[in-house]
Amino acid sequence: MQIAPSILSADFAALGDAIRRVSDVADLLHVDVMDGHFVPNLTIGPPVVAAIDRHTSLPLDCHLMMTNPGDFLEPFRRAGADWISVHVEVDGTASLLAEMRALGVGIGLAINPETPFEAIEPWLGDLDHVLVMTVHPGFGGQSFMGEVMPKLRAIAAANATRGRPAIIEVDGGIDVATIVQVAEAGATCFVAGNAVFGRDDPAAAVRALRHAAEGTVGAGR
Ligand code: DX5
Ligand code: ZN
């Protein structure tokens, strides 16, 4: 089980402090990159990722909500991205994955709530992680979309038959209740923004999410 706090819900004017608060308990740091085209919001680019990388030893999981991610794979890799996800809704998936492979970064494909299973099925087996969106991307703090659950189960089932199964990562509306549902459906990596940085004690919030996902009260880190 991996917990990936999303800095989208942190105080952008005190990012270093926010990241320090989860660095001993989180597995990854999820970085939401929004371009104002693919999604109706703008966030951060490679210079900020480079600054974050200097502040933490946590692997950086960069979620590129961009129309033209191919123009930025190398800059994000150079800035310190360890995992990168591009969206399957963007054209040129084969060459994007090939470029990520050449860059030596964790290869991920993200899939929006309304995009069908069939869009991602051909790529399973080529990926290190699948990022299943359980909200419409663009903003933190939205409600979990339960209607994505059948697709999540289909992705987990198909993934398990591949020679090289990907990590199943979920993103959007994850809290101590919804994390149980998605873990039961086969997810093992959980992005959480509001449920971590919206809390007074982000480290305790990460521990609570991990305990809920593992189904064991009081165990774990
Ligand atoms: C949404 C982002 C998410 C977001 C999740 O566009 O991709 O990573 O930060 O935030 P919560 O956990 O608050 O739904
Ligand atoms: Zn995200």
Per-residue pLDDT tens for 16-36? 999 999 999 999 999 999 999
Q: How far apart are CA 191 and CA 126, in angstroms?
A: 22
Q: What number is the average pLDDT over the span 187-201? A: 98
Position in ligand 1 atom list of the atom nearest CA 7? 9
CA dist 126 and 30 (Å) reads 21
pLDDT at 217 over 70: no
Q: What pLDDT does 110 receive?
A: 99
- pLDDT value of residue 87: 99
Give the residue-averaged pLDDT of 59-66.
Answer: 98
Over residues 129-179, the pLDDT tens digits come to: 999 999 999 999 999 999 999 999 999 999 999 999 999 999 999 999 999
Alpha-carbon distance of 185 to 70, in angstroms, equals: 31
53 is catalytic: no
User: Does the beta carbon of 84 sit less than 6 angstroms from any atom of ligand 1?
Assistant: no
Distance 171 CA to ligand 2 centre (A): 6
Angle between helix 15-22 and 46-55 (nearest 10): 50
pLDDT in the model for residue 220: 38
* Whole-number pLDDT of residue 135: 98
Average pLDDT over residues 96-100: 98
pLDDT of residue 105: 98
Question: Per the structure block, which two tokens stand in for 94?
Answer: 């084969």
Q: Whole-angstrom Cα distance, residue 143 to residue 146?
A: 9
DSSP code for 145: -
Mean pLDDT, residues 109-116: 98
Average of per-residue pLDDT values in the chain: 96
How far is the C-alpha of 60 from the C-alpha of 83, rounded, in Å? Answer: 6
Kindly state the average pLDDT of the residues 60-85.
Answer: 98
Q: Which atom of ligand 1 is nearest to the CA of 63?
A: 7
Q: What is the mean pLDDT of residues 103-121?
A: 98
Ligand 1 atom 1, closest CA:
137
- Picking from 32, 38, 15, 37, the residue whose alpha carbon sits closest to that of residue 141 is 32
pLDDT above 70 as % of the chain? 97
| pTM, two decimal places | 0.97
Active site residue 171: yes
The pLDDT assigned to 65 comes to 98
